[in-house]
Amino acid sequence: MILQPLLDLAELCVRRGIHHAVIAPGSRSAALTLAFARHPHIQTKVIPDERAAGYIALGMAQQLGQPVALICTSGTAALNFAPAVTEAYFLGVPLLVLTADRPPEWIHQQDGQMIHQDAVYGKHIKESYALPADYGHVDSRWFIERTVNQLINSAQEQPRGPVHLNVPIREPFYPKSDETFTYGSPRTITRVVEQRTLPQETWEELLGLLEDTDRVLILAGQQVISEALLEILEQLKNEFAFPVVGEVLSNLSGHSFLTHPDIFLGSTQPQDERCPEVLITFGDSFVSKNLKLFFRKYKPRYHYHISFRRELIDPFQTLTQQLAIEPEAFFHTLLETLDLRAFRQGDEDRDTTFLQSWEVAEQKAVSGIQHFLQTREAFGEFQAVAQVLEQIPESSQLHLANSMSVRYANYIGLTQRVTVFSNRGTSGIDGCMSTAVGAALTTDQLVFLLIGDVAFFYDRNALWHSHVPSNLRIILINNSGGSIFRMIDGPRQQPELETYFETQHHTTAERTAQDAGLVYYAIADEQELVKALPSFLNEDKKAKLLEISSDPVANQKTFDQFKELMKAM
C-alpha cells in the first residue's frame, strides 16, 4: 500500500504550481517517484547521476521561476545534490529537494544506504525539515501539509532558494500491481508577503543626493531583466545622464547601455573622471576583476545596493545602504519622482560630462576589441568564440560555463538580444552543462552553451540520460586542458603548469557526442568554422556539439596581447 501522504505531497506540489520533477532512480524513494510520475499534471525527467540531476533541476527552475521537485533515494545520492543545491542557494533559484531516507532508528546501523541526511545541506539551504517516519497519526498529516506549504512558500519568497524535505520511508516501498492511486485534497496555505516600499525619508535622502551631483552611476549585476525595467533604465540614462553599466550576465546587451566595463576599467591610465559620487547596484555578482578593482579604488561616496538578501553583500567594500525592494519598483519610482521634481524645478540642462566619459570609454573598448580580433594572424579560440557569439540568433539563450568561457564572452559582448545565464552563485565548473540541459528541457528557444573542455568532461553525465533536448547547441572550446591557468601570471610561471594546473589531456568530445547521439562538428581552423556554422545554428530538432580545437600556447599569446590592449585603454 503506497503511502497516502506522499500522494498528497505530490498533489500539494501541483496545487502550489510545481509541475516539474527531476528524479534520480532508487528503491527507497520508489513511493515518491511513483507519486510524482503518475500524477497527470507533473512532468518528470529521470536522470541517473544525481550531481547532473541537481543542476538540470536548477536549469529548469531558473527558466520557470518556480520550484522544481528534485527527488533521490537515501545515502550519498543526497550528497551528490549538494553542489547544485549550493549553487541554487547563492544564485537564488527555487528548488524543492525531496530525499528519501531510512527511518531515523536505522541510521548508522550498517544496513545499506544510510547517512545522516537531516540538515545534510548545512547552511546552503533556505529551510530544511524531516518528516516523521510514521504517517499514521492525524497530527503527522497535519505536520506534513503545513511543512510542505511552508517550504514551498520559503522557496518562492525573495530571495528565492532551495528548500529540503527529508522523507523517511519504511518498507514496503512499492504498491501492489493492481493498486490505483487516489490523490487527496491537501490544503494549500500560502503566505502573502508584504508589498515592500521604501520609507519616505529614504526616498527624500536619496533624491536629495541625486540632485546634488552629476556623478550617478547605475551598475547592474548578474540577472535576467524585464523589458519594462530596461525601458526605465533607458529613460534614466537619457533624461538624467546616468550611465547604466553592466556585464554580459546583466542582460543589458542589445540596447544602448555600457556593457564592456571589463575591458576599459582595466586601463592603467588614471580614471578619476569615471569615479561616481553615488553608485546604485542591483542584481547579483560580477565577473570582472577589473571592475571590482576599479570600484575598490575609485570609491563612490554613497553606494546603494538593491537586494532582498539579509546579508550585506559588499564586494567593492563601498556599500552604505541596502534597499530591500524589487529593482523594477525602485527604478520606476525613482524615474517618476525625478521627472516630477525636474518638471517642478523647470527644465535645467543636466551636465552630461560624467556620462560621456563612460560612453567614450565604452566606444573605445568596443572598437578596440573588434579591431584586435580582426587583426590577429593565427586562428584561436578568442576569435572563434567572437565569430560564434556574433551569429547566435536573437531570442536564443546563451549559457556561459565557468571559467574562461564566461570571461571571453564578457570581453567580446553581444549586440543582439540573447538571454544570458551562468552558474555564478558559486562559479563552479561542475554543473554548467547540466544547467543548460535543464534550461533547454524547459524552453522552446535554442539554448547555446559555451563551455571549455574541463567543464565539459567534468559534467559529461549531463548528457547521460534519455532526455537530451533537441534545442541544445554546445560550443566546446577544447584547448586540451584548463587554459585559464595559462592566462594568469601566477601558475604560468610554475614548472607545474601543465601537470598540476592545466591538467593537459588529448581527449576530444567526439565519442562523448556519439554516445549521447549529438550531431558533431570538429573545427580546427576558420574555414571549417565558417563552413559548419550555418548547419550548427540551424533550428532543426537535433542536439549539436561544435568542438573548436586550438593551441593553448597560441591562445595564451593572443590573450597576452589582449591584456596589453586593456591596459592601454
232 touches 280 (CB < 8 A): no
Residue 456 identity (one-letter amino acid): F
Residue that is written with C-alpha cell 555564478 in the block: 424
CB 239 → its own copies: shortest distance, Å?
Answer: 30
Residue 37: exposure state from Cβ atoms within 10 A (0-12, 13-18, ≥19): middle
Q: Does 460 bind its own copies (CB under 8 A)?
A: yes
C-beta of 113 vs 357, nearer to its own copies: 113
Q: Does 83 bind its own copies (CB under 8 A)?
A: yes
CB 48 → its own copies: shortest distance, Å?
Answer: 5
CB 534 → its own copies: shortest distance, Å?
Answer: 28
Q: Does 457 bind its own copies (CB under 8 A)?
A: yes
Closest CA to 403 of 430, 438, 439: 430
Helices 50-64 and 432-440, axial angle in degrees (round to 10): 50
CB 74 → its own copies: shortest distance, Å?
Answer: 9
Q: Does 180 bind its own copies (CB under 8 A)?
A: no
Q: Does 166 bind its own copies (CB under 8 A)?
A: no
Q: Does 409 bind its own copies (CB under 8 A)?
A: no
From candidates 10, 23, 68, 69, binder to its own copies by CB under 8 A: 23
Q: Does 468 bind its own copies (CB under 8 A)?
A: no
Quick one: which segment of 112-120, 247-255, 358-366, 432-440 binds its own copies (CB under 8 A)?
112-120
The CA distance from 246 to 281, in Å, is 10
CB 82 → its own copies: shortest distance, Å?
Answer: 4
CB 271 → its own copies: shortest distance, Å?
Answer: 21
- Looking only at the bridges linking them, the beta strands covering 397-400 and 419-421 are parallel
CB 154 → its own copies: shortest distance, Å?
Answer: 18
From candidates 34, 386, 414, 566, binder to its own copies by CB under 8 A: 34
Q: Does 320 bind its own copies (CB under 8 A)?
A: no
Q: Which residues contact 204 (CB under 8 A, 6 or more apart)?
A: none
Q: Does 132 bind its own copies (CB under 8 A)?
A: no
Q: Does 134 bind its own copies (CB under 8 A)?
A: no
Residue 61 identity (one-letter amino acid): A
Per CB under 8 A, contacts with its own copies among 340-379 are none
Quick one: which segment of 158-166, 194-202, 204-212, 457-465 binds its own copies (CB under 8 A)?
457-465
**Hey, is 187 helix, strand or coil?**
coil
Per CB under 8 A, contacts with its own copies among 195-254 are 221
Quick one: which segment of 184-192, 311-319, 335-343, 440-448 binds its own copies (CB under 8 A)?
311-319
CB 311 → its own copies: shortest distance, Å?
Answer: 5
Tell me the CA end-to-end span of the chain in Å, nearest whole number: 71
13 touches 63 (CB < 8 A): no
Quick one: which segment of 114-122, 186-194, 361-369, 379-387 binds its own copies (CB under 8 A)?
114-122
Q: Does 406 bind its own copies (CB under 8 A)?
A: no
The alpha carbon of residue 499 and the mean position of all alpha carbons in its chain are separated, in whole angstroms, by 30
Quick one: which segment of 142-150, 249-257, 263-271, 462-470 binds its own copies (CB under 8 A)?
462-470
Phi, psi of 472 (to 5 degrees): -90, 135
Neighbours of 61 (CB within 10 A): 28
Q: Does 482 bind its own copies (CB under 8 A)?
A: yes
Q: Does 168 bind its own copies (CB under 8 A)?
A: no
Residue 123: exposure state from Cβ atoms within 10 A (0-12, 13-18, ≥19): exposed
Q: Does 40 bind its own copies (CB under 8 A)?
A: no
Residue 161, C-alpha cell as written in the block: 532558494
The CA distance from 377 to 558, in Å, is 9
The alpha carbon of residue 74 and the mean position of all alpha carbons in its chain are separated, in whole angstroms, by 28
Q: Does 8 bind its own copies (CB under 8 A)?
A: no
225 touches 250 (CB < 8 A): yes
Q: Does 11 bind its own copies (CB under 8 A)?
A: no
Closest CA to 217 of 247, 241, 252: 241
424 touches 222 (CB < 8 A): yes
- Kindly determine how many residues on this chain lie close enough to bind its own copies according to the rule CB under 8 A: 89
CB 459 → its own copies: shortest distance, Å?
Answer: 9
* Number of residues that make up the chain: 569
The torsion defined by the Cα of 260, 263, 268 and 271, in degrees rounded to 10, comes to: 0
C-beta of 94 vs 482, nearer to its own copies: 482
The CA distance from 4 to 2, in Å, is 6
C-beta of 285 vs 383, nearer to its own copies: 285
CB 116 → its own copies: shortest distance, Å?
Answer: 4
Neighbours of 86 (CB within 10 A): 20
From candidates 189, 313, 329, 533, binder to its own copies by CB under 8 A: 313
Return the HEC string of 392-455: CCCCCEEEECCCHHHHHHHHHCCCCCCEEECCCCCCCCCCHHHHHHHHHCCCCCCEEEEEEHHH
C-beta of 91 vs 446, nearer to its own copies: 91
C-beta of 373 vs 516, nearer to its own copies: 516
C-alpha dist (Å) from residue 367 to 222, 243, 273:
24, 19, 21
Quick one: which segment of 212-220, 242-250, 511-519, 549-557 binds its own copies (CB under 8 A)?
511-519
CB 113 → its own copies: shortest distance, Å?
Answer: 5
Q: Does 191 bind its own copies (CB under 8 A)?
A: no
Q: Using CB under 8 A as the criterion, what x/- string covers residues 490-509 for binding its own copies?
A: xx-xx-x--xxxxxxx-x--
Q: Does 563 bind its own copies (CB under 8 A)?
A: no
The torsion defined by the Cα of 208, 212, 214 and 217, in degrees rounded to 10, comes to: -40
Q: Does 110 bind its own copies (CB under 8 A)?
A: yes
C-beta of 71 vs 365, nearer to its own copies: 71
